[in-house]
Amino acid sequence: MHLVIFKIKNFVLGKRFFSGLLLLLPCCIFSQNPDISLLRSINSPETLAMDGFFRFVSNSEACGTIGIPAGMAIAGLIKHDNKLIRNASISLTASAVNYCISNAVKLAVNRDRPYLKYPDIIKKVGGGGPSFPSGHTSAAFTVATSLSLAYPKWYIIAPSYLWAGTVAYSRMHLGMHYPSDVLAGALIGAGSAYLSYKINQQISTGRRIRP
């Protein structure tokens, strides 16, 4: 019975998440005017003093995605803290789920980067490939949401989402993504983390009540 309930709940959660993403797709792809207008107000053709800071923040996504759960796992092993190790595993699982979903959507939509379509949008960092959704943003929000669910304290939630939000903004400042790319990335990342957390929670509950 609990297995059936578990499957139903996760089917509903997954259905709601992907339905929301599907509803977002046409808005992101076809509503180019507000999308590019907002990007133009964020990306500057001039070299700015803050460009270096946003490059650093953008590059911090890879370190955060791997480094944070790895640090949690190492600390858990040193302290013999199984909960810390489990939370690290959930975060890594969520990142893997996010990676698969984000790249599948990228290939399906195959949206050009904004600097390829609009010459006035200046690319200020390396990178390429399809634009929608923002992989950096989705990865950052996966980590931020995983941490926030595992440790629902303001001093964890606030800096986690501040970092993820800054990563998202940096991708627009650097001319790499439309605002809709970033929004979709945030939703996919947060959704991947939430689904991974709930699945682990259901599995853990099922194990505890099993005779």
The tokens describing 130, both together, are 């399809």
pTM: 0.82
Which pLDDT belongs to residue 187?
A: 97
By three-state DSSP, how is residue 151 classified? coil
Q: Give the separation between CA 144 and CA 147, rounded to whole angstroms.
A: 5
> Is 41 part of a structural domain of the chain?
no
> Is 178 part of a structural domain of the chain?
yes
pLDDT in tens, 2-58: 443 344 344 334 445 444 445 455 555 545 688 999 999 999 999 899 999 999 999
> Is 53 part of a structural domain of the chain?
no
Neighbours of 68 (CB within 10 A): 20
How many structural domains comprise the chain? 1
> Is 79 part of a structural domain of the chain?
yes
Which pLDDT belongs to residue 33?
A: 85
> Is 100 part of a structural domain of the chain?
yes
> What CA–CA distances, in Å, run from 159 to 66, 72, 144, 145, 162?
17, 17, 9, 11, 5
DSSP 8-state code for residue 175? T
Q: Give the separation between CA 102 and CA 134, rounded to whole angstroms.
A: 8
> Is 180 part of a structural domain of the chain?
yes
Q: What is the pLDDT along the chain (211 residues), one digit of tens a residue?
A: 444 334 434 433 444 544 444 545 555 554 568 899 999 999 999 989 999 999 999 999 998 999 999 999 999 999 999 999 999 999 999 999 999 999 999 999 999 999 999 999 999 998 888 999 999 999 999 999 999 999 999 999 999 999 999 999 999 999 999 999 999 999 999 999 999 999 988 887 765 544 4
Q: Give the separation between CA 140 and CA 134, rounded to whole angstroms.
A: 10
> What CA–CA distances, in Å, run from 195 to 9, 36, 99, 182?
10, 32, 14, 20
- What is the residue range of 82's domain? 2-26+58-206
Nearest Cα to 66, choosing from 155, 139, 166, 168?
Answer: 139
Nearest Cα to 5, choosing from 208, 199, 211?
Answer: 199
